[in-house]
Structure 1
Amino acid sequence: MQVPPTHYPSRMTGSNSSGTASYRRLDVARRRAQLIRAALGLFAHRAPEDVSLDDVAVAAEVSRPLVYRYFPGGKTQLYEAALGSAVAELTQCFAVPEEGPLTRRLAGALDRYLAFVDEHDAGFSALLRSGSVVATSRTGAIVDEVRRSAAGHILAHLRVPEPGVRLRMAVRTWITAVEGASLTWLDEGKQPAVEELRDWLVDHFVALLLATAARDAQTARVAAAALALEPADGAVASLARRTVALLTEAEHLLPAP
C-alpha cells in the first residue's frame, strides 16, 4: 500500500493551501541516485536479505511504489545498482599517483580500501562471501571487476605493460589475501588496529613479490626496479631486518659463509 507523502516531511517542498505536503520533484537521474544512496546506506551495515524495499523507501523518504517505478526488478535490481555504485568507489582505491616508493603507494591505496571496508562492514562481508540470497551471476561479475581493476592498477604501479603469468598470479593472489584479511579483520571486531593491518598487507606484497622473483626472471627485474626506489629506512628495509633476524635464529636455513 502506498505510504502517503505526508509521512516524509524532510523531502517536501512545503504544503499547499489544503495543508497537504507535496514531493520535491527530481529528475530521473537525481531520483535514481537518491534511491541508490539510500540503499547503499542500508546495505553497508545490513546483509541484503535483511533489507526490504520498504526500508529503502523509508530511508529515502519516498513511497514504496516510487522505488518500484525506478527499479521494477525489485530488490535484486536495486542491489545490483547499489553494488555498481560501491564498486565504482572501490575501483578507485588503488588509483593513487604513480610516484614515490611502491610501498608508500600501496599503503595509500590500502588506507582508502580499508576505510571503505570499515564504513561498509556488513555489506562488504555479505558481498565477498557471496552468501546473500540477492546475489546473482551479475553481482558476481560486478565484484570480480573490482579485482581486475585493482590488479590493473598494481601492475601499472609496477610499470609492467605485458605481465607474465607468474607476475599476474602473484598480484591476483595478493588481492585475494587483502580480501580475506579484510573479512577476518571484520570478524575479529576490527582488530588489530587498521594501521597495523595495512602495514602487514604491504609486507605481504613485498614478500610475495620476492618469492615470485626467485622463480621468475620478469618478476625479478620488476622487483629490482621497484625496490631500488625504496628508502633505506622504509618498509622494505624494516621487513628485511626482521626477516634476517628470524633467519639468524634458524641458522641451519642460512647459506654457509
Structure 2
Amino acid sequence: MTTGVRRRMGVEERKQQLIGVALELFSHRSPDEVSIDEIAAAAGISRPLVYHYFPGKQSLYEAALRRAADELAARFVEPPQGPLGARLLRVMGRFFDFVDDHGPGFAALMRGGPAVGSSTTNAMIDEVRHAAYVQILAHLGVAEPSARLELVVRSWVSLAESTALIWLDGRRVPRAELELQLVHDFAALAAVSAAYDADMAEILVGLLADEPADGPFGDLVARLVALVPVASPEAPSVPGQRLR
C-alpha cells in the first residue's frame, strides 16, 4: 500500500534498484525494446535521475548483465555429494529455472543483446561459460583436465546454452525432459570420448561405478538397451559385438 511518503535512497541502493527494475523488464522483453523512460517509470523516478546514476542505457544494461551473469554462474554450484547424474540434474533444474524466469534477458545475455560485440559483454558471457566449466570439473574431481575431457565439458556447456536458447523459441519440448536429456547428453559425450581415450574411459568407469540403477545415467542405459533389437539366431554377427 502506498503511503505517499517516498523514502530517499542512497546512491548504491538506488543503483541496485534500477538494476533490479531493468532485469525485471528484460525478463519479459528484449533489452532492445525497453526504454529508459520505462525503467524510470517502473522505478518511480524521472528519466534525468536515471542518467544521474547511469550515463546511458548501455551502462545500465551492462550493470544488469553483470548481475544476471553472476546469478547464472551460481546456478552451476552444487555440493559434491552423491552420484554425479543426480547432481547434474539438479544443476540443470536451476539452470532452466533461470532461463524460464529471464527468457528474453537470458537470450540477450548469451547473444550479446544491445551490447553485442562489446568487449565487456563478451567477457561476461565467457565468465559464465568458464564458471560452468570449472564447476563441472570440480564435480568430476579433476584439477588438470586432459584435452579430451576439456573438449567434452566445454562442448556440453555450449550444448546446454544452445538447447536453452532453442527451447525458449516456443517451448515445444517439455522442460523436464530437456533437463534429463542434457544430463544424458553429458554421459553420451563422455562415453564417445572414452571409446577413443584410455584416460577418459577410466573417468567414465569411475563415474558409472557410483551411479544407482534408478539414477539419470541408469535411466539412459535402460533407454538405449530398449532400442536394441534382440538378436535372432539368423542375424549376422557384428565384428567386436559381445552379447550378454
TM above 0.5, yes or no, is yes
Within the candidate set 25, 29, 43, 2:12 is matched to 29
Structure 2: distance between partners of 1:248 and 1:255: 17
Residue ranges of structure 1 left out of the alignment (5+ in a row): 1-8, 15-22
Within the candidate set 179, 186, 194, 1:213 is matched to 194
SS, match of residue 114 in structure 2: coil
Kindly indicate whether residue 225 of structure 2 is the aligned counterpart of residue 240 of structure 1: no
Alignment of 1:11-30 (within 5 A): 14=5, 23-30=6-13
Once superposed, which parts of structure 1, at least 4 consecutive aligned residues long, lie more than 3 Å away?
247-257
Partner residue, 2:60:
78
Identical-pair percentage: 46
Partner residue, 1:51:
34
Shift of 1:163: 0.4
Kindly indicate whether residue 149 of structure 2 is the aligned counterpart of residue 167 of structure 1: yes
Provide the alpha-carbon RMSD of the alignment. Answer: 2.0
Structure 2: distance between partners of 1:118 and 1:178: 14
Shift of 1:46: 1.2
Kindly indicate whether residue 126 of structure 2 is the aligned counterpart of residue 126 of structure 1: no
Instruction: Give the TM-score normalised by structure 1.
Output: 0.86
Structure 1 residues 218, 256: closer, same or farther in 2, change over 3 A? closer
Shift of 1:254: 7.1
SS, match of residue 99 in structure 1: coil
Structure 1 residues 109, 220: closer, same or farther in 2, change over 3 A? same
Structure 1: distance between partners of 2:74 and 2:239: 42
Shift of 1:34: 0.4
CA contact (8 A) 1:57 1:67 kept: yes
Partner residue, 1:20:
none
Structure 1: distance between partners of 2:186 and 2:126: 20
Structure 2: which amino acid aligns with 1:65? P
CA contact (8 A) 1:247 1:254 kept: no
Structure 1 residues 256, 88: closer, same or farther in 2, change over 3 A? closer
**Which digits, 9 at most, give the CA deviation of each residue in 1:177-223, with x for residues without a partner?**
11111111111x22322111111111111111111112222222221
Shift of 1:157: 0.1
Shift of 1:246: 2.6
Structure 1: distance between partners of 2:241 and 2:184: 27
Structure 2: which amino acid aligns with 1:246? L
Partner residue, 2:44:
61
Structure 1 residues 217, 13: closer, same or farther in 2, change over 3 A? farther
- Higher RCO, Cα 8 Å, sep 6+: 2
**Which digits, 9 at most, give the CA deviation of each residue in 1:9-67, with x for residues without a partner?**
95x762xxxxxxxx421122211110100010111121111111111101111111111
CA contact (8 A) 2:31 2:105 kept: yes
Partner residue, 2:211:
230
Partner residue, 1:6:
none
Structure 2: distance between partners of 1:26 and 1:164: 51
Structure 1: which amino acid aligns with 2:187? V
Structure 1 residues 253, 78: closer, same or farther in 2, change over 3 A? farther
Moved more, 23-32 or 168-177: 23-32
CA contact (8 A) 1:98 1:157 kept: yes
